[in-house]
Amino acid sequence: MTDDEARWRRSATEGDGSPYAHAKAPSDDGPAYNTLTYEVDGRVARLTFNRPDQGNSITPDTPIELAHAVERADLDPRVHVIVLSGRGKGFCGGYDLAASAENLMDGGVISSGSEGTVLDPVVQMTNHDPQGTWDPMIDFAMMSRFTRGFASLLHANKPTVAKIHGFCVAGGTDIALHCDQIVIAADAKIGYPPTRVWGVPSAGMWAHRLGDQRAKRLLLTGDCLNGREAAEWGLAIEAPEPDQLDERTEILVQRIAAMPLNQLMMVKLALNSALLAQGVQNSQMISTVFDGISRHTREGYAFQQRAAEAGFRDAVRERDSAPYGDFGPSTNKD
């Protein structure tokens, strides 16, 4: 950097006055994740969901790995902004419910080291017996760990940006709505159809992002928005055409990245103080409890049993049939 250049634009690691000047550069040879990839590109940490063949659906590894990757970027003085996106046809299609709906009674999928814990499908199976006694705190202990992992995006010191293409539905919204900024393709689909049966959004972020009436408009029907509508409603900051999504997101990200790191942190913390004062954590606790309850109602058991009989996809197709008629990865009803 020359003497006539703006010194406040220099990297946090540059110059003798930097507390990071003599620190060893963070290694990019981090752990291999099962659900996402991680790379640092200049001042940008790029986290990318990497289960394209499964619609980047959420597994027990997802919140653990996401929180680890966010903390990794948060601690790296080179990084000014964190971008989250997904490979394949969409951002995230929600939880991998084939394991918990179709195969719940067969054990489902388990994370390594989770045997005998609330993340063990056998534990959840035992707690999901319609003829047995349901312990709501087993549900809460399991789901709250997912929510805490996703909330790392909100509580990170550095700004987080979600870049959404294709679809971001059900549990995928629990992730995206924790980001500070959302840029969504105009034709993408975003919403929480499981409020029709077997689900309440455990992140509890909808009213905080949209306000009371608009949040209720979506969650009392399970309806979704396309990207253009999401931007019009204030759920996303921008909704470019699909072929411009990368470019428009990158413009925003680079403008954020040009800011001094300490300025970004102060602004985010100051604005988060207002958001958190609205009661986000209380909303999450209540929503997580109700999410568990929704799977243990008469209707919830009926949906799970139908998924076990006909397959989860067909059960969802029936859930989203008339009067809704919006099954599938698109909001286009033509």
Average pLDDT over residues 84-96: 97
* pTM as predicted: 0.94
Please give the single-letter amino acid code of residue 300.
Answer: G
- The answer to the question of residue 221 being in a domain is yes
Q: How far apart are CA 276 and CA 208, in angstroms?
A: 9
Residue 114's pLDDT band, with cuts at 50, 70 and 90, is confident
Residue 334's pLDDT band, with cuts at 50, 70 and 90, is very low
- The answer to the question of residue 281 being in a domain is yes
Query: Closest Cα partner for 176 from 253, 95, 92, 278?
Result: 92
Q: How far apart are CA 106 and CA 47, in angstroms?
A: 33
- The answer to the question of residue 12 being in a domain is no
- The answer to the question of residue 140 being in a domain is yes
Q: How far apart are CA 273 and CA 250, in angstroms?
A: 27
* Tally of domains within the chain: 1
Residue keyed to tokens 């009371």: 212
Q: Return the pLDDT at 25.
A: 74
- The answer to the question of residue 262 being in a domain is yes
Predicted confidence (pLDDT) at residue 108 exceeds the cutoff of 50: no
Predicted confidence (pLDDT) at residue 121 exceeds the cutoff of 50: yes
- The answer to the question of residue 35 being in a domain is yes
CB 153 within 8 A of CB 175: yes
Residue 258 domain boundaries = 30-319
Average pLDDT, the chain: 92
Q: Return the pLDDT at 105.
A: 43
Q: Note the pLDDT tens digit of each residue in 34-52.
A: 999 999 999 999 999 999 9
Who has greater pLDDT, 117 or 16?
A: 117
DSSP structure class, residue 26: P
Q: How far is CA 89 from the centre of its chain?
A: 16
What CATH number does the domain containing 209 carry?
Answer: 3.90.226.10
Residue 92's pLDDT band, with cuts at 50, 70 and 90, is very high
Q: Note the pLDDT tens digit of each residue in 240-270.
A: 999 999 999 999 999 999 999 999 999 999 9
Q: Note the pLDDT tens digit of each residue in 150-176.
A: 999 999 999 999 999 999 999 999 999
Residue 301 Cα distances to 57, 199, 295, 305, angstroms: 22, 12, 6, 6
**Two tokens at 330?**
């698109």
Residue 330 Cα distances to 166, 200, 218, 254, 286, angstroms: 8, 21, 16, 30, 30
CB 222 within 8 A of CB 324: yes
Q: Note the pLDDT tens digit of each residue in 275-327.
A: 999 999 999 999 999 999 999 999 999 999 999 999 999 999 999 999 999 99
- The answer to the question of residue 200 being in a domain is yes
DSSP structure class, residue 92: B
- The answer to the question of residue 20 being in a domain is no
